[in-house]
Amino acid sequence: DSGVTQTPKHLITATGQRVTLRCSPRSGDLSVYWYQQSLDQGLQFLIQYYNGEERAKGNILERFSAQQFPDLHSELNLSSLELGDSALYFCASSETGTGSSPLHFGNGTRLTVT
């Protein structure tokens, strides 16, 4: 058990809808990362927060947004959903935001857009 909690585990929704994915980092970790994993794209970095502040952005679409709250949990908001957004979304946390401290992943949210 990595100590990173993601909810919900599964999400099925229709095109055009909006969903929110939630992540609670490991106790003591200040940095949260969001990754998208689809069959043909591997693990794609979306965005990173450190202690409530956005630290880095990857290939995150404008329809997607995220935030990290004072209690350090994070939410990833996906809007105007398209079929191609169907994927596994992982949250990871690390003690620092330096990138070379180990990342600990949650078990993901499987999003299916119909």
Q: Which residues bind another protein (CB under 8 A)?
A: 2, 4, 33, 42-43, 45, 48, 56, 58, 90, 92, 98-100, 102-108
Of residues 28 and 42, the one with the C-beta less far from another protein:
42
Nearest approach, Cβ of residue 22 and another protein (Å) = 15
Of residues 68 and 108, the one with the C-beta less far from another protein:
108
Of residues 17 and 112, the one with the C-beta less far from another protein:
112
Nearest approach, Cβ of residue 90 and another protein (Å) = 5
Which two three-digit tokens encode residue 69?
Answer: 């709250």
